Amino acid sequence: MEENITKSVSRTELSPLSFLQRSAFILPEKTAVIHGDRRYTYRQFEERVHRLARSLQQAGLVKNGKVAFLCPNTPAMLEAHFGVPLAGGVLVTVNTRLNKEEIRYILVHSDSCFLFVDSEFYSLVSDLGIQGLTVVRVDDSGLEGDPYEQFLAQSSPGLLPYNVDHEDSPISINYTSGTTGQPKGVIFTHRGTYLNALGEVIETGLSLRTVYLWTLPLFHCNGWCFSWAVSAVGGTHVCLRNINPELIWQIIRREGVTHFNGAPTLHTMLVNHSKAYRFEQPVAVTVAGAPPSPTLLEKLRSLNFSPIHVYGLTETYGPYTICTWHPEWNQLPLEEQARQRARQGQAYVTAELVRVVDAYMKDVPRDGKTIGEVVMRGNNVMQGYYKHPEATGEVFHGGWFHSGDLAVWHPDGYIELRDRLKDIIISGGENISTIEVEQTVVRHPAVLECAVVAIPDEKWGERPKAFVTLKKDAYASEEDILAFCKKHLAHFKCPATIEICELPKTATGKIQKYILREKEWAKRNKRIN
Amino acid sequence: MEENITKSVSRTELSPLSFLQRSAFILPEKTAVIHGDRRYTYRQFEERVHRLARSLQQAGLVKNGKVAFLCPNTPAMLEAHFGVPLAGGVLVTVNTRLNKEEIRYILVHSDSCFLFVDSEFYSLVSDLGIQGLTVVRVDDSGLEGDPYEQFLAQSSPGLLPYNVDHEDSPISINYTSGTTGQPKGVIFTHRGTYLNALGEVIETGLSLRTVYLWTLPLFHCNGWCFSWAVSAVGGTHVCLRNINPELIWQIIRREGVTHFNGAPTLHTMLVNHSKAYRFEQPVAVTVAGAPPSPTLLEKLRSLNFSPIHVYGLTETYGPYTICTWHPEWNQLPLEEQARQRARQGQAYVTAELVRVVDAYMKDVPRDGKTIGEVVMRGNNVMQGYYKHPEATGEVFHGGWFHSGDLAVWHPDGYIELRDRLKDIIISGGENISTIEVEQTVVRHPAVLECAVVAIPDEKWGERPKAFVTLKKDAYASEEDILAFCKKHLAHFKCPATIEICELPKTATGKIQKYILREKEWAKRNKRIN
């Protein structure tokens, strides 16, 4: 008894819920959330979060029950990041780019008992017919008639306790496309998200003055934990339903945005827009998914963007490494600066140093040439895949998380990605499984076999290309096959192009994907983009 | 077994040792430590830390063995903060202002088996004769003949592993003067110091560009965890043996100092110095121990210092609250700004909100008038007092740490200190026990009884004043008693003034200290300074 009291005096379970508690307490009148003309102060934000939590409890949510959200970056989506765990639940955010079947799989696999769905995506879920799933539509109006607002309104007011029983308990599950067709549910904990959020605050320089624009989808690793990080420092969230460069430029100017994040695709789109202008104060832009090109870097600089290059995976709560900028590099020629900046760097202050290892888990030489796999461990690695212990054991073998990304290790300890072990294509920041695309293509009645590889793409970084052999005496055009894909796959996963040909094979008949990739990536020194 | 592996992949024990590992890895050539003309890069700093750790192990240091340091803010003292825990030991830093008997008490009570002592203080410990204590002199020269350098040199090179077995294990013990004469050993953990250091990084805005000047003694709560915080962001430590305003102004200019901390005494001394000048870039100065006066605030501003007001105790790892500045307060008249700034504010982002409670542990009304005790809990509260479970139980009663500080709670949730429950005087940032001073005074053969209270002091904030009644037929002058104190007490603890008089008493004969204090603090609205 005595010992327990002593322990509780000296210990708080780490949880990002404490961030909202504190900001709402010390900065109640500060603007927490902006969405068009709607504005919520931290006091209002907190009240809405507690209403969501209470209503969920009143509607039957049990401890560790799963609550799914299929929404763009709206106030409801931000409220979910605090309200669901406050109610003792686990948040399941669903990628809005998925198709009906994929959404159904995630809802069923995650055991979700609630689904909050933005009206834009309501048609996708109107006839799911999943037993025991309560569906609440979010009209994103903030007005009385909105079913989401009605859900909040039904709760009694008053605050729920913020404390959690154990920091290692789950806070969210983020589904990610792996190499096999079925997405896997990556479990984040209260402790992991707390530490990761502090890491984001420190590495990207968030503060009370931060006005953060939600260009990055909140369904991507809970917005890389910025959902919690921005709230930790009492910053302001600026919501954004979709990527519209003209609107983004307007909002940056109107709201005085200081930070936003995204894949290079986003930044390229923005800097080349006719409304682009140079800021007086630098705006920090965090780029992940693929390294920024020298051209993009120069453009960003000329507009007074401060680029920050980070790298990570859903399994690492979003960013894990950062290319920490050495002040003396500012003296280098721009091309050389871009080369430095294009490296993925090393671990965040809250993470353990990453290693690049060979097949025997030995460090590769730090020569900038030898390729090995990037492995991570520690507080910034997921707890595991939900209901998938074998898959967890596989990626955790040898006591480290295996990223599936291939990199060289430079003499200064920074890593630089070169290729991917896994059959994954990263297109505009989204994962696409080549295997899933192949399995779809071969379902076409005229197709005999198929191999899908990534090809470099100016706008999206990478896109899939399908090499197809037709059945004897069968016929289908490239357009036919593409139309078939569009019917059965989320659109962003469809091949950019289809080539009907003979597939290169080994003597034993195995398709030699690397030959196809070499052909497409000739003259490049990396096999990722 | 499987479960253990999974856990270890997803969990790192929190420890500030990871900060040195990372900064030395990614910024090996960056300057970590400056001391006059000496400079150590992070690579060199790391090497020296590992040599210290290895040599300690070779010299017999066992797991959780205590290693004491009695040094000013020198490179050796910074190295101790990483080297001792890296060797598996626990660091005991000793206040250099204590006298021989106090030092002996701490060394014996802490079970220290090593003592590293700066040559300036060597005479204090040359004849301690404590069994089993290995004493190493630190000449602070960095040169071969220096016994400390010889101690480092005897180790074989190479790095020790950075990982720790458990984040709740102790990293340091900091002795603090309580109300009773004997100092108590406050235990800090790896987890607590890690989180506190991140809190300091975020709240005081430390970064790669930080050049931190060590005006704050490292023996105060491990320099409020800045020993670890500055290293976490790859900043530069600038050492300082003693407070010399002229030298400080020189160093600020020469090294481009961006941050330093201290009690208002220090800042007042600096801003009033003839070498004071206005900086081009703002310098962040963190003020604790007592609120900055409007005059000091105005002076700081005019020199382009950005003041940050924090409050805490040794038992809370140093600062626990910060007066987070609302941007709109910049519009207020300076007097009103000073009034806002003088408040102790609320918890750090890494700490739980503080409460102000009555005797029944109920929150006092947030009316800015009702006085209650400030209580804290969580990761930023010490593990307990070393070998003193009763004292720990006492300050932890009701599940919260009792600060002994009396405050009002303002309507906006910020607290403001008003008085002290404990018989403690805080003078120039140092704790003085009134009871200890009284016990010394009454040992004078002519003294019958004595009461010591704090009096306000322009320079030191507070100083002790002794009210003394002499024995019948005995005689001693005020000077006699003062000389006696100087012989038996550390000088900073000696009364500023002595008044020979009759002591006010209750009917039952209890001395009414509050009457003495009221007399000395008349016309002030607080009883602390």
A55 CB-side CA count, 13 A: 24
* Contact (CB, 8 A) for B93 and B65: no
Nearest to B91 by CA among B5, B181, B17: B17
Q: Which two tokens stand for residue B183?
A: 């100092």
pLDDT value of residue A293: 75
Nearest to B189 by CA among B310, B91, B286: B91
Interface probe for A, chosen from B200, B348, B349, B400 (most Cβ of A below 10 Å), is B349
CA distances from B340 to A453, A505, B282, B344, B410 (A): 62, 75, 21, 9, 11
Q: Which two tokens stand for residue A521?
A: 């990536």
Nearest to B162 by CA among B253, B49, B76: B49
Q: Is the dihedral of CA B348, B352, B353, B359 positive or negative?
A: negative
- Asked if A205's CB is within 8 angstroms of B207's CB, the reply is yes
Within an 8 Å CB–CB cutoff, is residue A501 touching chain B?
A: no
* Contact (CB, 8 A) for B189 and B214: no
Q: Give ranges for CATH 3.40.50.980 in chain B.
A: 42-163
- Can you tell me the distance from the alpha carbon of B174 to that of B314, in angstroms, rounded to the nearest whole number? 7
Q: Which two tokens stand for residue B69?
A: 């340091």
CA distances from A172 to A85, A218, A351, A386 (A): 8, 12, 20, 10
Of all residues in chain A, the one with the smallest CA distance to B195 is A195
Least Cα separation, residue A26 to chain B (angstroms): 6
**DSSP-derived secondary structure letter, B96:** T
User: Is the CATH number of domain A424-520 3.30.300.30?
Assistant: yes
- Can you tell me the distance from the alpha carbon of A260 to that of A240, in angstroms, rounded to the nearest whole number? 11
DSSP percent split of chain A into helix, strand, coil, nearest 5 = 35, 25, 40
pLDDT value of residue A134: 96
* Contact (CB, 8 A) for A105 and A123: no
Residues 6+ apart with CB under 8 A from A118: A70, A71, A72, A74, A76, A96, A137, A138, A140
Q: Tell me how far the alpha carbon of residue A178 is from its chain's centroid.
A: 14
User: Which CATH fold topology does A22-262 show?
Assistant: Rossmann fold (3.40.50)
Q: Which two tokens stand for residue A472?
A: 């004897």
DSSP percent split of chain B into helix, strand, coil, nearest 5 = 35, 25, 40
Within an 8 Å CB–CB cutoff, is residue A308 touching chain B?
A: no
- Helices B42-58/B75-86 angle, 10° precision: 60
Least Cα separation, residue B527 to chain A (angstroms): 26
* Contact (CB, 8 A) for B100 and B94: no
Least Cα separation, residue A245 to chain B (angstroms): 30
Q: Which two tokens stand for residue B233?
A: 């962001």
* Contact (CB, 8 A) for B290 and B264: yes
- Asked if B352's CB is within 8 angstroms of A324's CB, the reply is no
Element (H or E) spanning A238, and its range?
strand A236-238
- Can you tell me the distance from the alpha carbon of B467 to that of B488, in angstroms, rounded to the nearest whole number? 18
CB contacts < 8 A, A to B, total 136
Within an 8 Å CB–CB cutoff, is residue A381 touching chain B?
A: yes
Q: Which amino acid is at A323?
A: C
* Contact (CB, 8 A) for A319 and A200: yes
The segments of chain A whose pLDDT lies below 50 read 1-2
Where do the DSSP E strands lie in B381-507? 384-385, 401-409, 415-420, 424-427, 430-433, 447-457, 461-470, 497-500
pLDDT value of residue A6: 61
- Can you tell me the distance from the alpha carbon of A495 to that of A517, in angstroms, rounded to the nearest whole number? 14
Q: Give ranges for CATH 3.30.300.30 in chain B.
A: 424-520
Within an 8 Å CB–CB cutoff, is residue B306 touching chain A?
A: no
- Helices B190-204/B17-26 angle, 10° precision: 60
Domain at B190-422: CATH code? 3.40.50.12780
- Asked if A327's CB is within 8 angstroms of B377's CB, the reply is no
Per the rule left: phi > 0, alpha: psi between -120 and 50, beta: everything else, A507 is alpha
- Kind of pairing between the strands at A112-118 and A66-70: parallel
* Contact (CB, 8 A) for B268 and B291: no
Length in residues, chain B: 529
Q: Give ranges for CATH 3.40.50.12780 in chain A.
A: 22-262
Give A 323-362 residues with CB within 8 A of chain B.
324-327, 345-347, 349-350, 352-353
pLDDT value of residue B515: 86
**DSSP-derived secondary structure letter, A157:** -
Q: Which two tokens stand for residue A248?
A: 């983004």
Of all residues in chain B, the one with the smallest CA distance to A198 is B198
Q: Which two tokens stand for residue B276?
A: 């004071």
Give A 41-70 residues with CB within 8 A of chain B.
none
Bridge partners, residue B467, by sequence: B451, B499
pLDDT 10s digit of each residue in chain B, 529 long? 345 556 689 999 999 999 999 999 999 999 999 999 999 999 999 999 999 999 999 999 999 999 999 999 999 999 999 999 999 999 999 999 998 989 999 999 999 999 999 999 999 998 888 999 999 999 999 999 999 999 999 998 789 999 899 999 999 999 987 656 588 999 999 999 999 999 999 999 999 999 999 999 999 999 999 999 999 999 999 999 999 999 999 999 999 999 999 888 888 889 889 989 998 889 999 998 666 777 788 888 889 999 999 999 999 999 999 999 998 999 998 888 888 988 999 999 999 999 999 999 999 999 999 989 999 999 999 999 999 999 999 999 999 999 999 999 999 999 998 887 777 888 888 888 887 888 889 889 998 888 999 998 888 888 999 999 998 888 999 999 999 999 988 889 999 999 999 988 877 667 888 888 888 888 787 777 7
Q: Which two tokens stand for residue A278?
A: 């140079």
- Can you tell me the distance from the alpha carbon of A178 to that of A102, in angstroms, rounded to the nearest whole number? 13
Q: Which two tokens stand for residue B53?
A: 């750790």
- Kind of pairing between the strands at A447-457 and A461-470: antiparallel
ipTM of the modeled complex:
0.89
Contacts with A384 from chain B: Cβ below 8 Å:
6, 10
- Asked if B379's CB is within 8 angstroms of A10's CB, the reply is yes
- Can you tell me the distance from the alpha carbon of A455 to that of B503, in angstroms, rounded to the nearest whole number? 91
pLDDT value of residue A2: 47
Q: Give ranges for CATH 3.40.50.12780 in chain B.
A: 190-422
Phi, psi for residue B411 in degrees, rounded to 5: -55, -30
Q: Tell me how far the alpha carbon of residue B65 is from its chain's centroid.
A: 22
- Kind of pairing between the strands at A134-138 and A112-118: parallel
Within an 8 Å CB–CB cutoff, is residue B209 touching chain A?
A: yes
Nearest to B14 by CA among B139, B190, B151, B134: B190
Q: Is the dihedral of CA A278, A280, A286, A291 positive or negative?
A: positive
- Can you tell me the distance from the alpha carbon of B203 to that of B311, in angstroms, rounded to the nearest whole number? 13
* Contact (CB, 8 A) for B22 and B171: no
- Can you tell me the distance from the alpha carbon of A242 to that of B308, in angstroms, rounded to the nearest whole number? 40
Q: Which two tokens stand for residue B319?
A: 């600062």
Provide the 3-class DSSP secondary structure of residue A70. strand
Domain A346-420, CATH class in plain words: mainly beta
| CA R_g for chain A | 23
- Residue in B10, B378, B384 closest to A382 by CB: B10
pLDDT value of residue A211: 98
Nearest to B319 by CA among B223, B388, B395: B223
- Asked if B10's CB is within 8 angstroms of A384's CB, the reply is yes
- Can you tell me the distance from the alpha carbon of B202 to that of B206, in angstroms, rounded to the nearest whole number? 7
Contacts with A390 from chain B: Cβ below 8 Å:
none
Provide the 3-class DSSP secondary structure of residue A282. coil
- Residue in B9, B346, B400 closest to A26 by CB: B346
Provide the 3-class DSSP secondary structure of residue A18. helix
Within an 8 Å CB–CB cutoff, is residue A208 touching chain B?
A: yes
Within an 8 Å CB–CB cutoff, is residue A22 touching chain B?
A: yes
Length in residues, chain A: 529
User: Which CATH fold topology does B42-163 show?
Assistant: Rossmann fold (3.40.50)
Nearest to A207 by CA among B59, B202, B230, B355: B202
Within an 8 Å CB–CB cutoff, is residue B282 touching chain A?
A: no
pLDDT value of residue A518: 85
